[in-house]
Structure 1
Amino acid sequence: MRKILPFKQPLAYGYQFYAFPLGILAVYPKASEWVLSNYIQLVYEYTDQSVSVPFSFYVYDYSVSPWLQTLRLNRQWCSSRNGRVNDIVREAIGKDFYVYLSLNERYVPQRIAYGGRKDWVHDALIYGIDDETNTFELYGYDERMKFRSTQISQDDLARAYYDTGDEPFYDVPFTMYRFDDAGAYSFDLGFVCQGIVEYLDSFNTSTHFQAQRDPWDRAYGLKTYDLLDAHLDGYGRGVIRYDPRNVQVLWEHKRMMVARMRRCAELIPAVGDIVKQYESVERQAWMLRALTIAHQTGYDRGDFRAQASSLLRRIRAAEEGLLGRFALELERGGPPRATQTAPSSCK
């Protein structure tokens, strides 16, 4: 059997839990309407040193989309299949399901922990199988922190899945994704406007889902800039460890916003006047990302704390004004959508 399911690097890939479903959807242009209607809000933990994901997009459930069929199992269920994880994965891929799971990267080639003595359980996506080479195709971050495709032998997969070591670890659900060609989603300008305003108002978007889960007491939207500024300052002073994911997420948010504006400009021409100006915000976010990486690798000899703080303030000021204009054009250009706790406009 040889079968490779399609996968395309998505607009956002800082964390694999959202990169994988987005990479599946990126293959299908018709799914972009849903993607661009979401991934608007940002959320930041108040104590970013004590959590594994301090800063990210806020989406209630990253695995759910009208364009995906999603099945979830757990390790206990898979372990009860008499060590047959290879058979489960093989059957899933044969039926066009991608498999998202946790593997011990000590046994996964081209990963940082490969061949070492320390167990490192991390998430991965299996999207293909090749019996001729006796491998499964994986997607994820390699030993150089490049988000790309690699392989694991079929013999090693079971060990990487079952031999997780003695230390506790975060185990993602054994999740199977399949693109649903019968899916449907309407691009609603009022809903997009609501998301933009909630971002500008730093509104706690998690309160919309209180029927399913207690609201998250975290910083949202523009308020996340304050915490990101404090994080970068702490890193510059040497009291916070290097973590490039925060500035990666910031840049991805601007990148996604540019794509969203371009789509809206097709429906509301006046938005086109904002796009090029906002592209400058994206470039500045990219510059902040590059500055942080350069500082960590020793290529930047300037005053990182002053440069990073100044650049972040410019990004925030420019974005706040441009997104305010964007929300105004959306409000004028399409029917608004009601919210249960109304932000300042789009009511």
Structure 2
Amino acid sequence: MNAKKLPIKQPFIDGYKHHAMPLSIISLFEESEPWILSNYIQLYTRKYLQDVHWLDFYLLDTVMNRPNNPFVTVQRTDRTVIGPFADPIEVIIRCIEQDKYVPIEGDQYYLPHCNSYMQHHRVSGFLAYGFDREQEIIHIMDYSYTTNNRFESLTLSFAEMRQSFLSEVPGGRAQRIWMLKPVSKPKYVFNLNVVQRLLEDYVTGTNHAELTIQFQDHPLIHTADVVYGIRVYDHLEHYLHLLLEEQAGNNVLPFQVLWEHKKCIGKLLRYLREKEYAAASDHMIEGYSAIEDGAFIIRSTFFKYTKTGDKACLQRILERMRHMAAAETAILSEVLVQIKARCRESAERIGFGNS
């Protein structure tokens, strides 16, 4: 086979690649939207200000590493296994010929679309989903850091791909490679009880995953600096105050994640009403749409601040965020009342009402 491109879909969550890569495959399934919406409810901060990715969706693990993903089967290995025995280009092509997508960790030093190109070595991920032997290119999804600065379709030459994957990044781990194959007939049943638990954790700023036996040894559960749910607004406000005092560097990523979270919750509320899981009123839907819009304005205002240095932008974000947190708590608390009532009704119908 001389050329092949697997189907791909732009995900509505693409701020971080560890979400965007698998979701660009999973989103191909019509049935995936309720699964995405019921998993992307909780937020948390970790390694606050120590890592630019300190605000993220709370899934305990990446989508690619979750054992209960109903849409793709996952295999994983690393450079030390493949490198000595096979040409990575042929491994990638063989996978794609078998309808397997290939998320790869490579060295950005050899990737022309990255800011680190020919500057310094850094491990980063991208998703291979196609090839062309005649043109000697691999089709990938990655951020176009040097041009559009968004997650999109790009190409790498065979030579660039090979160098990037086989490079030994000083002080870094051996680069990993995944093989993701879509399930032919995925089975997923929407679970309102899971939505209730995660939404309640978000509104109350708590996490009850530690009560689940299989997660009790997970390192994230026992990390002291983790903050959950609505309480992440406290870290966002604190970060803005540090910027006002010129004690922190610019980082738009938390505000990108904040906006993506509001988009997810807005979609969830509309889905719950459409499927009659909750009688969300027009007032509630419109109120949350205003929160979505507010998060987008916050993101845009922060971008303006990074260009102009105008601290009035930060003050406007602070004021908007305080109103947004209060409005979000009020709306989601009301939705929770409806969801809990529906869950009780369902339990009573199957005979658990008096247990």
Tell whether the structures are fold-level matches, with TM greater than 0.5: yes
> Counterpart of 2:334 in 1: which secondary structure?
helix
C-alpha change, 1:226 and 1:21, in structure 2 (3 Å) is same
Q: CA deviation at 1:202?
A: 1.4
Question: Any idea what the Cα deviations from partners look like across 1:87-126, whole Å, max 9, x if unmatched?
Answer: 2111111111111111112222222222x33223211111
Shift of 1:240: 1.1
Contact 1:136 1:151 in 2 (8 A): yes
**Structure 2 CA distance for partners of 1:201 and 1:170, relative to 1, 3 Å:** farther
Distance of aligned partners of 1:92 and 1:272 in 2 relative to their CA distance in 1, 3 Å threshold: farther
Task: Give the conservation status (yes or no) of the 8 Å contact 2:168–2:174.
Answer: no
Using the alignment, how far apart are the partners of 1:40 and 1:203 within structure 2?
12
Residue 215 of structure 2 corresponds to which residue in structure 1? 210
Give the distance between the partners of 1:280 and 1:120, measured in 2 at CA: 39
Deviations along 1:1-33, whole A, 9 cap, x unmatched?
A: 211111111121111001111111112111112
Q: Is the 8 A contact 1:191 1:337 kept in 2?
A: no
Once residues 188 and 314 of structure 1 are traced to their aligned partners in structure 2, the CA distance between those partners, rounded to angstroms, is 31
Shift of residue 235 of structure 1? Answer: 2.4
In the TM superposition, 1:246-325 aligns within 5 A as 246-268=254-276, 270-273=279-282, 274-298=284-308, 301=310, 303-325=312-334
Q: 1:237: how far off?
A: 2.7
8 Å contact kept, 2:165–2:175: no
Q: Does 1:102 align with 2:105?
A: yes
Pairwise CA distance, 1:81:
2.3
Instruction: Flag the 1:297–1:336 CA change in 2: closer, same or farther, 3 A.
Output: farther
Change (3 A) 1:311 1:336: farther
Q: CA deviation at 1:173?
A: 3.3
Report the Cα distance in structure 2 between the residues aligned to 1:230 and 1:104, rounded to whole angstroms: 34
Q: What is the root-mean-square deviation of aligned Cα atoms in Å?
A: 2.1
- Tell me, yes or no, if the aligned pair for 1:236 and 1:304 is still in contact at 8 Å: no
Letter in 2 for 1:252: E
- Residues of 2 paired with 1:53 and 1:228: CA distance? 13
Shift of 1:170: 5.6
1:51 and 2:60 correspond: no
Shift of 1:50: 1.8
Gaps of 5+ in 1: 339-346
Tell me by how many angstroms 1:194 deviates. 1.4
What are the superposed Cα offsets for residues 110-157 of structure 1, whole Å, 9 maximum, x if unpaired? 22222x332232111111111222100111111232211110011221
Corresponding residue SS for 1:111 = coil
Q: Which residue of 1 aligns with 2:160?
A: 156
Percent of pairs identical after alignment?
A: 23
Q: Give the residue type in structure 2 aligned to 1:17.
A: H
For residues 1-347 of structure 1, the aligned pairs below 5 Å read 1-45=2-46, 47-61=47-61, 62-63=63-64, 64=66, 65-82=69-86, 84-114=87-117, 116-142=118-144, 143-144=146-147, 145-166=149-170, 168-169=171-172, 173-207=176-210, 208=212, 209-214=214-219, 215-217=221-223, 218-268=226-276, 270-273=279-282, 274-298=284-308, 301=310, 303-335=312-344
Q: Which is worse superposed, 128-137 or 300-309?
A: 300-309
Task: Give the direction of change, closer, same or farther, for the CA distance of 1:117–1:267 in structure 2 (3 Å limit).
Answer: closer
For the residue of structure 2 that corresponds to 1:29, the secondary structure is coil
Deviations 1:194-215 (CA, angstroms, capped at 9, x unpaired)? 1110111212244134345241
1:29-55 residue CA offsets vs partner (Å, 9 max, x unmatched): 11112111111110102x422235211
Aligned equivalents of 1:328, 1:304: Cα separation in 2: 36
Give the TM-score normalised by the residue count of structure 1. 0.90
Q: 3-state SS of the aligned residue for 1:158?
A: helix
Provide Cα deviations, 1:237-259, integer angstroms capped at 9, x if missing partner: 32211111100000000001111
Letter in 1 for 2:164: A
Instruction: Indicate conservation of the 8 Å contact 2:205/2:230, yes or no.
Output: yes
